[in-house]
A and B are shown apart, each in its own frame.
Chain A
Amino acid sequence: MAQIFAYILHQNGVMDDTAVELLAAGAALEPDASVTALVVGSNPDVEQVSREAARSFDTVWKVAGEALAYPNAEVIRPLLARLLPKGSILLMPHEHFSMDLAPGLSVLLEAAYLPDAVAFEERQGQTLKAVREEFNGMVSTHVACDLSSGAVITLRPGAFALDQEQGKNGQVVDKTEQALQGGIPEPLRRFLELVEAEAGDVDISKSEVLVSVGRGIEDQENLEIIHELAEAMGADVSCSRPIVDAKWMEKSRQVGTSGKTVKPKVYLALGISGSFQHLGGIKGAPFMVAVNKNPKAPIFQVADVGVVADILDFVPQLTEKIEETAK
Chain B
Amino acid sequence: MEILVCVKRVPDTSENEITVNKDGTDIEREDLVYSVNEWDNYAVEEAIRLRDKVGGSVTVVSLGPEDAEEVVRREMAMGADKGIHLMDAAFEASDGYGIATALKAEILKGSYDLVLTGAQADDGAGQVGGMLAAMLQWPFAALVNKVEVADDGTLKVGREIAGGNQEFSEIRLPCVLSIQTGINEPRYVGIRGIRKVASVEIPVHGAADLGLSLEAVGAAAARVKRLDYFLPELGEGAEILEGTEEEIIDKLIELLKSKGGIK
B-binding residues in A (CB < 8 A): 72-74, 77, 95-97, 99-108, 111-116, 129, 132-146, 149, 151, 187-197, 208-209, 215-216, 232-235, 241-242, 244-247, 251-252, 254, 257-261, 265-266, 268, 273, 287-290, 294-296, 298, 300-309, 314, 317-318, 321-322, 325
Identify B164's interface contact among A259, A265, A300, A304, CB under 8 A.
A259
| 228-254 of chain B: CB within 8 A of chain A | 228-232, 234-235, 237-241, 245, 248-250, 252-253
The answer for the CA separation of A294 and B160 in the assembled complex, in Å, is: 30
Q: Which residues of A contact B169 (CB under 8 A)?
A: 72, 189-192
Given contacts A137-B232, A192-B170, contact A108 B134 (CB under 8 A): yes
A101 and B128 CA atoms in complex are apart in Å by 12
Stretch at the interface among B66-74, B140-148, B187-195: B140-148
Distance in angstroms between the alpha carbons of A59 and B184 in the assembled complex: 45
- The verdict on B130 contacting chain A, using a C-beta distance below 8 Å, is yes
Give the one of B125, B161, B223, B229 with max A CB within 10 A: B223
Q: How many A-B residue pairs have CB under 8 A?
A: 276
Residue on B with the closest CB to A296? B17
What are the nearest 4 A-B pairs in CB distance?
A103-B130, A234-B263, A104-B134, A306-B238
Residues of A contacting B237 in the complex (Cβ-Cβ under 8 angstroms): 300-301, 306
Known A197-B164, A301-B235: A144·B227 in contact at CB below 8 Å = yes
Is there a chain A Cβ closer than 8 Å to B94's Cβ? Answer: no
CB < 8 Å: which of A133, A143, A265 contacts B259? A265
Question: 1/0 per position for B10-28, CB-CB distance to A under 8 A?
Answer: 0101100111100000010
- Evaluate contact between B248 and A234: CB separation under 8 angstroms: no
Interchain CB contact under 8 A, B13 and A136: yes
A325 to B256, CA, bound (A): 13
A10 to chain B, nearest CB (A): 13
| 8 Å CB contact of A113 from B96, B231, B235, B263 | B96
Within 8 A of A (CB), among B1-45: 11, 13-14, 17-20, 27
Let me know if B249 and A197 touch, CB within 8 A: no
Measured between beta carbons, the chain A residues less than 8 angstroms from B100 are: 107
A193 to B166, CA, bound (A): 8
Report if A189-B171 is in contact (Cβ < 8 Å); known contacts: A129-B227, A246-B185, A289-B252.
yes
- How far apart are the CA atoms of A112 and B223 in the complex, in Å? 6
Closest to A234 in B: B263
Contact B139 A188 (CB under 8 A): yes
A306 / chain B contacts, CB cutoff of 8 Å: 237-241
B203 within 8 A of A: no
Q: A235-B261, A241-B182 are in contact. Are A187 and B139 (CB under 8 A)?
A: yes
Identify 25 residue pairs between A and B in the complex whose beta-carbon atoms are under 8 Å apart, listed by A's number: A96-B143, A96-B159, A99-B143, A100-B141, A103-B96, A103-B128, A104-B131, A105-B134, A113-B97, A113-B127, A135-B124, A141-B226, A142-B226, A142-B230, A190-B169, A190-B170, A191-B167, A195-B167, A197-B164, A254-B164, A265-B260, A295-B240, A301-B235, A305-B238, A306-B241
B228 near A142: Cβ-Cβ < 8 Å: yes
